[in-house]
A and B are shown apart, each in its own frame.
Chain A
Amino acid sequence: MTEMDSAMILAGVVAGAAPIVLAAIGETITEKSGLINLSLDGSILLSAMAAFVVSYKTQSLAAGFAAGAMTGAAVAAIIAVFSIYLKLSQVAVGFVLALMTRDLAYFLGNPYSRIHGPQVTPLPVPYLSDIPFIGPVLFQHNITVYGSLLAIGLSGWYVYHTSYGLKLRSVGENPVASYARGIHPHGVQMIHAIIGGLLVGLAGAVFSLSAKPGWGRPQGAEGTGWIALALVIFGGWNPVKAAAGAYLFALLQVMGIYFQGWFPSIPAQVFQTAPFPLMIFILVLMYASQQESVRILAQNRPWLKSILRFFSAAAPTALGKSFHQQ
């Protein structure tokens, strides 16, 4: 493999992962506040459909991205309202919405299937794109990919280095104590459900306007939502790590194409299931790292200790529980 080839592969990974990065970051931010948005798989499709149809009708990409983001936010807001104000199970509402928004997307988008619409054009960054290797990998994409790269930095900074991020994390860990400190847990959850939903909606828009342009049944974004939900766990509820997981996943997908060359009898879809056993394995490791017996075992084994430290992330304590505010 020459340097040119590996640069091309990595560029494909960076571009292909863009929507998954956005979705995983959005979901991480929502879950940090203690809410689970399980509807991801459907809301990505619905936003993709909305973005495509609006940008087709108005011939404006900006309007398409706005429509996608608003759709994602609206679905997230429904879950938040049902959970916060009606005390319904977030998992139940999210799951129903995951199925329903997917069907709604297919139904409403049916007249717009397989037609040519606007799509984002590449925009190489001047000067930076001429850097050997790094240029083609990072700086010869379109604006959505730069946006996904920017989102990684911004989300990490927001969650861990701002006072809003601190409030967000405290509500996710202990809403009662946060309330006592003068934070409004329901408000914080509502806002972050919507922010997360906006990012998820943007992920859908990136699919239908850039990564897999157009609309149809199937669109090509199916299953991404579940993968994004898995990546949140993979990243241990850290948006930057979740994004790293998205790149690993995209790399697996690209490698799948190569593997298929080696095993032509195995269809590509089989390789696409690879992240799921990996996710289960990582969940098991995370659980094991919290066990006393494993910790004792690791005391004299530095290599095991470092592995455990890597996987020692835990979910926000109040994740999925509803808080009764007086």
Chain B
Amino acid sequence: MNIISLTHKRLLTAVVDWSITLICIGAFTTLILLATGAPPVSTYYHIFMGAFGSWVKFGHSVKAWIPLTLCACGLLYTFKIGLWNIGIEGQMIMGAVFATGILKWGVGSENEILFLWLSFPAGLVGGALWAVVSGFLKTKCGVNEIFAGLGLNFMAQGLILWLIFGHWKQPGIASMSGTETFPQTLWLPQAFAVNVPPTGIMLTILALCITAYILRFTRIGLNLTAIGNNATASVLFGLHPDRYMLLAMSLAGGLSGLAGCIQVVAVYHRLIPSISSGYGYLALLVVMLAGFRAGMTAIISLFFACLNVGSIQLPMVLQLDSSLSGVIQGAMVLVTLGVHAWRKRRAAS
């Protein structure tokens, strides 16, 4: 009897929390829409149809889901050890830069397919290297990872512009539209008519499964958690926080570098200044909203990707700015964090 009423109570709490969260977000978004004079119902309908209206549109959402989930996957490691890897954006950019370098080398060679596959490890290494710089600054030079990461993000952005306007510029004229588009032989094969790369989906699911396994069932996962909870105690236990921080950073950087590589080989087929599309920063929100759990990360990534893709057509149909998706995503994270903290505060008192 006692047990039943206890689970009953927990279920009720969860339902109440979710209702409060959803009502807050809905009310907030609707108020903002009303403030700009936009019709709320029609706006929500267009976002939904923009993401699910046809297979092609859903394909776009899946294409956004791949890099977002890969970055979020990487962030699970760094959050586990208590690091704020804001530098993930720059790591993704470096992955794209390294992958482009390999592909440029492969243009016109006899077995281009080899270079296409080589671009994946190249992206991985590019992202991991940039993350290790941030990791070394944190562990050896006492630079907070947030500021090191931010600085490195802007430096990566500078590098990409320098390359696009310098060595890698299009023949004739350098422009913000990016480097020259690669020949189709260097594109990642796309499935069906929906333009979704099956390789990308499989890699992402694989990364998710491996991450979930490592974090839950292996010694590495346990040690990352131990250091994240109490670094001083972990030293007494014989662990080396510095080494694990570098490991977590390079795993995060590698996965986000892979995301950058996929943006080049499967989405844009060239290097553009905004190659990362802000997915690194968005992935930080995804992981926070998912409560640092791998399974939830995949679901929330898909939801965020759909929101992003769904709001792309808002400027055309309703003359609204597409940044509405970002507002909804931010509000979701804030309200969820707030309700959770409020619940904890009530439980404590």
Check B327 against A267 for contact (C-beta < 8 Å).
Answer: no
Check A284 against B334 for contact (C-beta < 8 Å).
Answer: no
Q: Does B331 contact A (CB under 8 A)?
A: yes
A74 to chain B, nearest CB (A): 14
Interface bin, chain A = 35 or more
Q: Does B162 contact A (CB under 8 A)?
A: yes
Check A287 against B327 for contact (C-beta < 8 Å).
Answer: no
- What 0/1 pattern do residues 215 to 229 of A give for CB contact below 8 A with B? 001000001001001
Check A283 against B281 for contact (C-beta < 8 Å).
Answer: no
The complex places the Cα of A270 from the Cα of B157 at a distance, in Å, of 8
Check A287 against B143 for contact (C-beta < 8 Å).
Answer: yes
Determine the residue in chain A with the shortest Cβ distance to B324: A107
Q: Which residues of B contact A283 (CB under 8 A)?
A: 137, 141-144, 147-148
Q: Does B284 contact A (CB under 8 A)?
A: yes
A211 to chain B, nearest CB (A): 20
- What 0/1 pattern do residues 81 to 108 of B give for CB contact below 8 A with A? 0001010000000000000000000000
Stretch at the interface among B4-12, B13-21, B253-261, B337-345: B337-345
Query: Which label, helix, strand, loop or mixed, suits the secondary structure of the A interface?
Result: helix
Check A108 against B36 for contact (C-beta < 8 Å).
Answer: yes
Check B154 against A270 for contact (C-beta < 8 Å).
Answer: no
Q: Which residues of B contact A164 (CB under 8 A)?
A: none
B188 to chain A, nearest CB (A): 29
Q: Does A209 contact B (CB under 8 A)?
A: no
B125 to chain A, nearest CB (A): 22
Q: Which residues of A contact B151 (CB under 8 A)?
A: 230, 276-277, 279-280
Check A280 against B147 for contact (C-beta < 8 Å).
Answer: yes
Check B320 against A110 for contact (C-beta < 8 Å).
Answer: yes
Check A284 against B143 for contact (C-beta < 8 Å).
Answer: yes
The complex places the Cα of A229 from the Cα of B86 at a distance, in Å, of 14
Give the total number of A-B pairs whose CB atoms are below 8 A apart.
140
Q: Does A176 contact B (CB under 8 A)?
A: no
The answer to whether A273 and B141 touch (CB under 8 A), given A91-B146, A107-B323, A283-B147, is no
Q: Which of A92, A102, A103, A223 contacts B154 (CB 8 A)?
A: A223
Q: Does B121 contact A (CB under 8 A)?
A: no
The complex places the Cα of A87 from the Cα of B146 at a distance, in Å, of 20
Stretch at the interface among A15-23, A93-101, A142-150, A195-203: A93-101
- What 0/1 pattern do residues 174 to 210 of A give for CB contact below 8 A with B? 0000000000000000000000000000000000000
Q: Which residues of A contact B137 (CB under 8 A)?
A: 280, 283-284
Check B338 against A111 for contact (C-beta < 8 Å).
Answer: no
The complex places the Cα of A267 from the Cα of B326 at a distance, in Å, of 29
- What 0/1 pattern do residues 254 to 281 of A give for CB contact below 8 A with B? 0000000000011101101100110110
Check A102 against B326 for contact (C-beta < 8 Å).
Answer: yes
Check B161 against A97 for contact (C-beta < 8 Å).
Answer: no
Q: Which residues of A contact B154 (CB under 8 A)?
A: 223, 226, 273, 276
Check A230 against B147 for contact (C-beta < 8 Å).
Answer: yes
Q: Which residues of B contact A86 (CB under 8 A)?
A: 338, 341-342, 345
The complex places the Cα of A93 from the Cα of B341 at a distance, in Å, of 12
Q: Does A171 contact B (CB under 8 A)?
A: no
Q: Which residues of B contact A104 (CB under 8 A)?
A: 32, 323, 327, 330
Check B35 against A100 for contact (C-beta < 8 Å).
Answer: no
Q: Does A82 contact B (CB under 8 A)?
A: yes
Q: Which residues of B contact A307 (CB under 8 A)?
A: none
7 interchain residue pairs of minimum CB distance: A100-B330, A103-B326, A287-B142, A273-B158, A103-B323, A86-B341, A276-B151
Q: List 22 A-B contacts (CB under 8 A).
A: A86-B341, A88-B338, A91-B146, A95-B86, A99-B326, A100-B327, A101-B330, A104-B327, A107-B32, A107-B321, A230-B147, A233-B147, A265-B166, A266-B165, A270-B161, A273-B158, A280-B151, A280-B152, A283-B144, A283-B147, A286-B142, A287-B142
